[in-house]
A and B are shown apart, each in its own frame.
Chain A
């Protein structure tokens, strides 16, 4: 098709109004490239259409300009922080970025290690704190017990009773403390010799010829131990009994006694 015939088809006008499909658009562009007259037609029609469009001009509100400029600034920032613009101008900032990245990774690793160490320390401190607290409670209880004993021993109504060996066993000595006012009794068995297994010491009060049980003296616990207080005891007696103690004393095994 020659140029004049082409201009008669109306394809050019359709193209200007955006009504052509891809294939038709290509035909128009090819003609425009080949014939300057066709290009000039296009330019003139576009110019007319531009003028036509300008008839609709309306003054936009004043704030639109600042909105537009802000939008442009933001678009700039987004592209700055987003995809890096290639080219030599940006290589410096790329290098800086890489350095900054390494620095940040290093810093976070350092801080992470610090945090992990701090967590470990905290856990260890917490467990130690618990141990100390338990120890403290134990000490407090022990101290209270000691204070109680001390108070009793120190009491004006407390009477010490020294028990001596009957000769059956050498060195069978003990000291008891009786307080008639508070109705408490303690005995220190630290000086009694050790017994074979299956045997135990037992303390008895002699009240008008009758032996009354004051308690089994466990070998394991050394030092002062509490026993039952019996009123009107005339003497205190220690016998050797089978493990667990007896209801009646084995008189043949009386190893120590003392008068009150």
Chain B
């Protein structure tokens, strides 16, 4: 027995039937033309796909770091304010930041388990999102966490020590780094 509620609704899908024509008045009298206002809407499907040529620009070294098992952050050299994300310029001084190496261990600051998601991530549900805090950094980093049971979510996960792991075959995406419980 599962404690999940029993479904009472058939899943809706979007395969429709192709219509090559629809009924239309044969005599185009004023009444017939008026009756067109009662017609059901005609709905068509338009696929749309694009390949973007997207540059990471000044943030590129961060992705190169992940490909080489290095987690970079950004630091304002004068104030020491440190972002756990790539950021070319500091939001307080307006000056250029330097790259710094972040520790590969941190703590879970906040988390969720996504049981649904955007279309592109639906096949990966349930997945765990975490905001990670690092010693020496003033801000957080968003990432995925694996190695916990997504059906056993608990506030106790907050504060948990996690360590960074890296994909061996880089995709040059922020998911090239992910987090696992440090004690596992």
Q: Do A and B come from one complex?
A: no
Binding site for B on A (CB under 8 A): none
Binding site for A on B (CB under 8 A): none
